[in-house]
Amino acid sequence: MRAAFCLIFSFFIATGNTFAQDTTIDSKLLRLKGLPLIADKSSIVKTYGRPLKVDQPNYECGFYSHDSIQYFQLWYKHLNFIGNDEEKYILENIKFHLNSSLSLEYGHWKLNSKLTKTAFVQIFGISELDSFTDRKNGVTEILMFFNNSDDGMIFSFKDDHLIEATYWSPC
């Protein structure tokens, strides 16, 4: 009996990762006003104009925290990009407002302030109960890893609507 229990327990330990797959997203399908998620600075400026502000982040950890490489943030109203001319820029954050026309496109879907959490769950085929984190301030969020990558996007919801998408990388 004890041997059977150990065998079954070992099976669940070994296959646990199979049942708890990370929720992933194809970064190549993400676009903002036709721009891919990762774009060169000239394409960003051509699409959005000159940034309202350009600064250098001072992150302690993550992909954009290297002391030997300079990174820049390009700030626009309700969004910003981070990167440099050699590595290109990635959309770091976008805030969605009910009266805003900003949409992050994912294939033929529009991710914007009109998107409900229920519709989001249906688009990505995720389990709402298991995958979202409650920030305890009325905001729930989910980290969606990019396919075959360590980084991803955090999608935040308030009052059942998408309010923000933020680039995330591990420390």
Q: How many CB atoms lie within 10 A of CB 66?
A: 10
pLDDT for position 4 = 35
Please give the pLDDT value at position 37: 96
pLDDT value for 60: 86
**What is the predicted pLDDT for the residue at 149?**
93
pLDDT at residue 129 in the model: 61
Q: Kindly give the pairing relationship between strand 38-39 and strand 53-55.
A: unpaired
Distance CA 112, CA 127 (A): 20
| Coil vs helix vs strand at 48 | helix
pTM: 0.84
* Sites in the chain below the pLDDT cut of 70: 1-22, 128-130
| Spatial CA neighbour of 144 closest among 158, 162, 136 | 162
- For residue 67, the model assigns a pLDDT of 75
